[in-house]
Structure 1
Amino acid sequence: MSDESPTLSLDEFQAALQDLGRSVVTASQVARVLECSQAEASERLRALAEAGSIGSADVSGDPVVWYPIDLDAFASREHRILFPERREVVVEHPRQFTRAQLAQFAHLVDSSGDAYIYRIREEDVWQAPYDHLEDLLRTIHDVLPERSPHLDEWIERQWSRAHKFTLATHEDGYTVLRAASDDLMGNVALQKLDQGEHVRAPITDSEVWVVAERVGEIKRILYDAGYPVQDDRELESGEPLDIDVTLDLREYQQSWVDRFETANSGVFVGPPGSGKTVAAMGAMAAVGGETLILVPSRDLAGQWHDELLMNTNLTPEQVGEYHGGEKNIRPVTVATYQTAGMDRHRSLFDDREWGLIVYDEVHHVPSNVFRRSADLQAKHRLGLSATPIREDDREADIFTLIGPPIGTDWAALFDAGFVAEPEVEIRYVPWADDYARNEYVSSHGHERRQAAAQNPAKVAAVRTLLEEHAGAKVLVFADYLDQGEALSAALDVPFVSGEMRHSRRQVLFDEFRNDRRDVLIISRVGDEGIDLPNAEVAIVASGLGGSRRQGAQRAGRTMRPVGSALMYVLATRGTSEEDFARQQLRHLAGKGIRVTERDAPQVEPVVEEPNEDGGAAEDGDDASDEADGESANDSGVDGDTDESVSDATDRDD
């Protein structure tokens, strides 16, 4: 080979195979990919073969074909195939970076084995976390295996549709809806919106004066018509409040705050442990007005109260809580969604001049009882969630009512070491015995799902995992009271559920945080917001069907800046739990986290007597006071939709 001819690396050869979609190629085919002559391609291929990296064979029709020697290694490489007409991308053996990049603009449809199927939907383009179309297209071109003018044109059209309508504040203070053209105003907006209820009067052919109190409905109506609305109104700042954050925000947290300041609304979307609460405090300081923080539970309200006093200059007299336990309205008030939405309390919140509304665990907003709190459209609005997804397909409400997603690139935070990327494994558990299997076979519907979830063999599977991780800080999740109590009795570990007194729960949580207790069994009360920063391992003995949000939340209990993050999901072999487990982890897979599968060893279950902490002695004693709703559903949960989760777990007053 001449000194002037460039060499060909094995990686470049394998990339050419991927571009050509072949495992055996000719020199002329490689020449087209490398954009060189056939003679030069042949020379470079021979040099690679002489180095022992690839093989060759003479065949009729072409002098030589070339192929990778290690076909197994080639088969396990990442392969990306684009179907532009269907707007689908199939990725075999995807790298974490590829999955994370696809999550910026595509929806994970299926992840069976080593193949991941992504689809690019209209709403994926509308909600893509980019300020400019060029930035979105750059990411798409980086990750897709080939350019598609057809796909690029479709994406440009969708981006344009998302910028056709804008809400603005008129110089006289009222709210105006502007369309990009007279036709859009006349043939879309005025056809969909009601005169009087939504529209007060026309201003020009492309501008109308709209009812400010109906802005949320206007956004939703136009979104359903295929036109997301850009909200550029001058929002109220409320009564001034000087807030300083005593922590230094990380670079990405500051960028979230900067983007929020520009948009005046949005949803911080980051992995658990990424510091969304701290970033929210930065947003509070940027707005500089009195703030209402809405949370799904009393536990989370207490945590916010403590974090605000610890990490800002706010005094105890400036921070209040409003829920079933106490009712204090202060310049910064932390309230539960349920209480704030009740008619007898609501005027207290509506009458105050809030500058900012923070919606923690914002995926609750679309449920009927919580979306009433989203009527405060004239305020700065900030949502927080690691998992802005819903099984009832109403996540669009989140971004319509609150604002656009901000900060969705999990991979960058994993790579930078800000958050530990979890290792996730599905363990398939055999039936404990023929009696348990027969009970499953003879039942139907929810009873069948419950029989699989409460397979007695899971007790032994949990014990095995605890032995594998002896000394680690472990949370075991069980959605059924009977199962939680059985695990508690067998393992001599307390079971924390909604039926346990709030004070007792706090004692157990504090013992876990302060390293006086290594293992807790916990029901859905541990899914959201509970800060247990030293948890290292999560074991899911049972869950709410295929709820993707719950799967990510439970993995999130172990995701912190330091240490390992492990999650095991137990599923009874040969039952619907197999599909539920894969579905539940789909959100994590879509964020670039690899999920593995293996069989649990066959172990004979051991039945032991109940212990003092694990039985039902304290369950239900505080149900009316705490009212997290666990008692209503832990022992008989269906859990196929997020609505059932919200309605069951979010009662607070």
Structure 2
Amino acid sequence: MTDEESADPTEDLPADGDGDRPAPTDEPFSIATFHEASQHVGRPVLTAASVADALEYSQAVATERLEALAEAGDLQRLSVSTDPVVWYPTELEDLTDRERVVVFPKRREIVVDRPDQFTRAQLSQFAHLEDANGEESYRYVVRPADVWQAPHDSFADLQRTMRQALDQRSDPLEEWVRSQWDRAHQFRLTTHEDGYTVLEGDNPEVMGNVARQKLDEEHVHAPISETEDWVREGAEAAIKRILYEAGYPVQDHRDLESGEDLAIALEVSLREYQRTWVDRFAERGEGVFVGPPGSGKTVAAMGAMAHVGGETLVLVPSRDLARQWNDTILEYTSLEAHQVGQYHGGQKHVRPVTIATYQIAGMDRHRSLFDDREWGLVVFDECQHVPSDVYRRSTRLQSRHRLGLSASPIREDDRQTEIFTLVGPPIGTDWQALFDAGFVAEPELEIRYVPWDDEEQRNAYSSAEGRERYRIAAENRGKIDEVRYLLSAHPDGKALIFVDYLEQGRELADALEVPFLSGETPHHERRRLLEAFRRDERDLLIVSRVGDEGIDLPTADLAIVASGLGGSRRQGTQRAGRTMRPAGGALVYVLATRGTREEDFARRQLQHLGRKGMTVREETVDSEQVTEHDGDR
């Protein structure tokens, strides 16, 4: 064949009305090509013009190729009023009848319609659930951290899980995942035969270009070889954090203390997903149990304690939680009272299982008490606090096993990755799976936009600036009437009312003649009120920010958030989550002053819960409605 005969046959063809664009006729065009165009455009239903634009064809050639795929049965066509014809894959026709997975490798996104629990469980091993729309559609994103933390011993195992979950092979996505897997195995912390810690790199290049560029004399003493550095004592956590942020997570292979043996038997049966959490923790020796309130993270942690079978230190944010941990351990395990101690401002007992506050554990004058004991397991409860400067000190207590617990490991300062570098990778089940299985009841969540009570407050808001504006909107006195209305609409419910400001809490307490539980409430009085609520001797409490995580609030049928969701996404999760228990029918109302920054804050923070699969409604309360509310009481 001559050069002339092998030339592109489309070189001298007319452009078919598309300017100078060539019209290729011999390039392969298959359903995979259509999917490539679909990914480029960002939707599964395309016109010939959009295919031509995505693939740089002429529209005439694109139409010809689409017609051919339609004749082969791979595509369907549909005439619509806005365009002569649209095209979509035949497989979309039975979308309502079966699970369907669509992979967008360039964006590293996976969209799954009607996934079964097996698929969701497989996806959770290498992807992050970004959005969920009930049972209909789930959107997963594969982030570097998801690959770094995948619970697999080899890339081949991870690859097998991906193909099972996707029911297909996606070479571009697999290549990217392989590159991230390799990054996650470049560095290791090991223990030298003389007892000190060594940082190892896979090769001299990565050691010199990454580790020795990022670390300094605060972290390492000196090089031992081209691929090894001698680590300063106590710098291990900082090294893991720095290299993680550089995109190179560190494998921790140190010979850490396992503590004295301690026989612990769990005297309650774990749910299937809790057993999965414990199994994944057992594989790695570290991790963070992530699940909604009511999913049993504390009981699962006791399953991890039983697996480790060693002396355990539990770190908590407050003495109230320390007391509750103490009671729960004695109730659900074989341990006896003399084996469990609390160490905080009220008590100071170090025992085989010790429950201490983060603040005490981080203080230099108490550190030796914890350092002198070899802990087999350290549990970081409410571990979203760990990156804060006060709490981070406690992470120097590096045992062989580390476990964190959190309903929502989110930080508004975007330092949540430090949680996983200092404690361990996330281990959890997507919220929708727990809703579907009936382990946790999905509450009905509604934002109610409340009008101003009077012109004085409205004018004060208009003239204020910054945080003061938000405080005035939060303390809108019109919310008192709305709380009264909601309580009267649910006369048989046990209710918790949350506030962010002490003055608002006091006003509500006076108006409703009920106790207000805040940080100013003495510990003994706080305990008495909560126990009365648990025993159904009280059906209403007003709770300040102290109730978000420092104490274990009893289950409620009704939660009214009078103010506070503008604070953080984590706060929204904690407060809405107070109604998430196996019993159904729970309601959460969020009150926001209409037309203010509080309205925007509430909507934005609750989008976080919407992405976890919860349904969020919105309702505007008008002035006439408020008058009707008053008349109904």
Give the TM bin, normalised by the shorter chain: 0.7 to 0.9
Aligned to 1:335, the other structure's residue is in SS state strand
Partner of 1:644: none
2:453 partner amino acid: A
Whole-angstrom distance in 2 between the partners of 1:492 and 1:254: 45
Partner of 1:262: 283
The answer as to 2:582 corresponding to 1:600 is no
Whole-angstrom distance in 2 between the partners of 1:559 and 1:35: 53
2:186 partner amino acid: K
- TM-superposed CA distance for 1:29, in Å, is 9.8
- TM-superposed CA distance for 1:224, in Å, is 2.3
Partner of 1:579: 600
Whole-angstrom distance in 2 between the partners of 1:110 and 1:575: 28
Partner of 2:71: 38
Whole-angstrom distance in 1 between the partners of 2:590 and 2:457: 20
Is 1:165–1:180's contact at 8 Å kept on the other side of the alignment? Answer: yes
Is 1:257–1:283's contact at 8 Å kept on the other side of the alignment? Answer: yes
Change (3 A) 1:40 1:501: closer
Partner of 1:167: 189
Change (3 A) 1:196 1:486: closer
Whole-angstrom distance in 1 between the partners of 2:615 and 2:160: 25
Is 2:530–2:554's contact at 8 Å kept on the other side of the alignment? Answer: no
1:259 partner amino acid: R
Partner of 1:231: 252
- TM-superposed CA distance for 1:600, in Å, is 2.7
Counterparts in 2 of 1:341-360, with a 5 A limit? 341-360=362-381
Partner of 2:127: 105
Could you report, residue by residue, the CA deviation over 1:175-203 in whole angstroms, capped at 9, with x for unpaired residues?
3322222211122112322358424541x
Structure 2: runs of 5 or more not aligned: 1-41, 52-60, 90-94
Is 2:315–2:378's contact at 8 Å kept on the other side of the alignment? Answer: yes
2:315 partner amino acid: L
Q: Give 1:288's match in structure 2, choosing from 299, 309, 313.
A: 309
Could you report, residue by residue, the CA deviation over 1:268-287 in whole angstroms, capped at 9, with x for unpaired residues?
11111111111111111221
Partner of 2:612: 591
Partner of 2:44: 19
Moved more, 563-572 or 384-393: 563-572
The answer as to 2:530 corresponding to 1:497 is no
Counterparts in 2 of 1:364-383, with a 5 A limit? 364-383=385-404
Is 2:496–2:559's contact at 8 Å kept on the other side of the alignment? Answer: yes
Aligned to 1:327, the other structure's residue is in SS state coil
Q: Give 1:545's match in structure 2, choosing from 566, 574, 594.
A: 566
Whole-angstrom distance in 2 between the partners of 1:487 and 1:400: 42
Q: Give 1:396's match in structure 2, choosing from 417, 420, 426.
A: 417
Is 1:243–1:288's contact at 8 Å kept on the other side of the alignment? Answer: yes
Partner of 2:235: 214
- TM-superposed CA distance for 1:292, in Å, is 1.0
Counterparts in 2 of 1:178-327, with a 5 A limit? 178-195=200-217, 197-202=219-224, 204-327=225-348
Change (3 A) 1:260 1:39: closer
Moved more, 442-451 or 215-224: 215-224
Could you report, residue by residue, the CA deviation over 1:5-56 in whole angstroms, capped at 9, with x for unpaired residues?
xxxxxxxxxxxx9622469999x999989996528689x98xxxxxxxxx86
Whole-angstrom distance in 2 between the partners of 1:121 and 1:216: 22
Task: Compute the TM-score of the two structures, normalised by the length of structure 2.
Answer: 0.79
2:241 partner amino acid: R
Whole-angstrom distance in 2 between the partners of 1:338 and 1:572: 37
1:450 partner amino acid: R
Whole-angstrom distance in 2 between the partners of 1:395 and 1:166: 22
Identity of aligned residues (%): 58
Whole-angstrom distance in 1 between the partners of 2:354 and 2:74: 69
Partner of 1:51: none
Moved more, 372-381 or 547-556: 372-381
Whole-angstrom distance in 2 between the partners of 1:104 and 1:600: 44
Change (3 A) 1:34 1:157: farther
Whole-angstrom distance in 1 between the partners of 2:606 and 2:154: 31
Could you report, residue by residue, the CA deviation over 1:530-566 in whole angstroms, capped at 9, with x for unpaired residues?
3344312221111152401111111221111222332
Task: Compute the TM-score of the two structures, normalised by the length of structure 1.
Answer: 0.76
Aligned to 1:554, the other structure's residue is in SS state helix
Whole-angstrom distance in 2 between the partners of 1:168 and 1:161: 18
The answer as to 2:502 corresponding to 1:481 is yes
- TM-superposed CA distance for 1:496, in Å, is 0.8
Whole-angstrom distance in 2 between the partners of 1:34 and 1:414: 44
Structure 1: runs of 5 or more not aligned: 1-16, 46-54, 68-73, 609-653
1:246 partner amino acid: E
The answer as to 2:599 corresponding to 1:566 is no
Whole-angstrom distance in 1 between the partners of 2:544 and 2:48: 50
Is 2:313–2:377's contact at 8 Å kept on the other side of the alignment? Answer: yes
Whole-angstrom distance in 2 between the partners of 1:505 and 1:431: 32
Whole-angstrom distance in 1 between the partners of 2:132 and 2:473: 23
Q: Give 1:437's match in structure 2, choosing from 432, 452, 458.
A: 458
Whole-angstrom distance in 1 between the partners of 2:540 and 2:428: 33
Whole-angstrom distance in 1 between the partners of 2:556 and 2:508: 19
1:221 partner amino acid: I
Whole-angstrom distance in 2 between the partners of 1:24 and 1:513: 64
Aligned to 1:213, the other structure's residue is in SS state coil
Is 1:291–1:354's contact at 8 Å kept on the other side of the alignment? Answer: yes
- Alpha-carbon RMSD: 4.3
Aligned to 1:239, the other structure's residue is in SS state coil
Whole-angstrom distance in 1 between the partners of 2:495 and 2:429: 28
Change (3 A) 1:23 1:463: farther
Aligned to 1:268, the other structure's residue is in SS state strand
Moved more, 444-453 or 343-352: 343-352
Counterparts in 2 of 1:142-161, with a 5 A limit? 150-161=172-183
Change (3 A) 1:117 1:534: closer
Change (3 A) 1:182 1:447: same
Change (3 A) 1:158 1:66: closer
Counterparts in 2 of 1:71-110, with a 5 A limit? 105-106=127-128, 108=130
Whole-angstrom distance in 1 between the partners of 2:125 and 2:612: 6
Moved more, 101-110 or 401-410: 101-110
Aligned to 1:272, the other structure's residue is in SS state coil
Counterparts in 2 of 1:109-128, with a 5 A limit? 121-127=143-149
Q: Tell me: higher relative CO, structure 1 or 2? Use CA pairs within 8 A at least 6 residues apart.
A: 1
Moved more, 173-182 or 268-277: 173-182
Could you report, residue by residue, the CA deviation over 1:279-304 in whole angstroms, capped at 9, with x for unpaired residues?
11111122121111110011111100
- TM-superposed CA distance for 1:132, in Å, is 6.0
Is 1:96–1:594's contact at 8 Å kept on the other side of the alignment? Answer: no
